[in-house]
Structure 1
Amino acid sequence: MKIIRSQSFTADRAWGALDIANMNGITTRLHWTDQPYKWHINDGQEVFVVLDGQVRMHYREEGLEKEVVLRVGDIFYASVGTEHVAHPLGVARILVIESEGSV
């Protein structure tokens, strides 16, 4: 049993994470960041939930770069093959659910 107060979670580096659960190879992790990630494509599907702050999500669809600002409570679903990168606007806390070992 765990109770996690996501808004008080910090890490010693950008994209530092707290492992919450691993359910049959699907991980749930809480991330803290104040820096952009890197362009990547996950090995599987990814669910990205903004719990605190705002994130500008850049993604490519049919070769075109697009972006959307995600606010608290917003969810970004990256299907297999979706190239994307997250740019927090200040400090953000994000819940990420994905295959174990994904980038």
Structure 2
Amino acid sequence: MSENPINLQSVLDGFDAVWSPRIVDTVNDYDIRLARFAGEHVWHVHEDTDEFFLVLDGEIEIGLREPAGERVVTVARGSVFVVPRGTFHKPSSKAGAAVLLVEPTGTLSVGDQHEEVPDHVDVTVGHRV
């Protein structure tokens, strides 16, 4: 936990890698992460945790595989969306986006199960700033 305020824009200005989240702080056992989205991530699932998305800039799409079939949720700047645990999902952004995520510390960016990970996706539990 930080003892001083953290300027999120300064953190975002400090990296340009997409799909490579930065851990800006920790609350209890949860990481507060910043990530840049561009293009497509990978279909994946977090079996034991929900995943919180807050779009700071741009717009993202999240593909969801649900019992009723697949659907896509568009999350605009200033909006939040939570993917429920156990739901396969695939984030993407056509024009690029900056996103704040909240996940339990140690959560892998490609979940517990995933399809083949392309080179542009960083398989990580986050990089501390």
- TM-score bin, normalised by smaller chain: 0.7 to 0.9
Normalising by structure 1, we get a TM-score of 0.86
Instruction: Give the secondary-structure state (helix, strand or coil) at the position aligned to 1:44.
Output: coil
Aligned partner (choices 25, 30, 52) of residue 29 of structure 2 = 25
2:103 matched to which residue of 1?
Answer: 98
Identity rate, percent: 27
Q: Deviations over 1:38-93 (max 9, x none)?
A: 11112411111111111111001115110021110111101211111111121110
Q: Deviations over 1:3-52 (max 9, x none)?
A: 22279536342212221112232111010121211111124111111111
Displaced runs of 4+ in structure 1, greater than 2 A? 6-13
RMSD: 2.0
Bigger CA radius of gyration? 2
Does 2:50 match 1:45? yes
Instruction: Give the secondary-structure state (helix, strand or coil) at the position aligned to 1:5.
Output: helix
Structure 2 residue runs of 5 or longer lacking an equivalent are: 109-129
User: Aligned runs of 1:1-103 on 2, under 5 Å?
Assistant: 1=4, 2-5=6-9, 9=13, 11-42=15-46, 43-62=48-67, 64-103=69-108
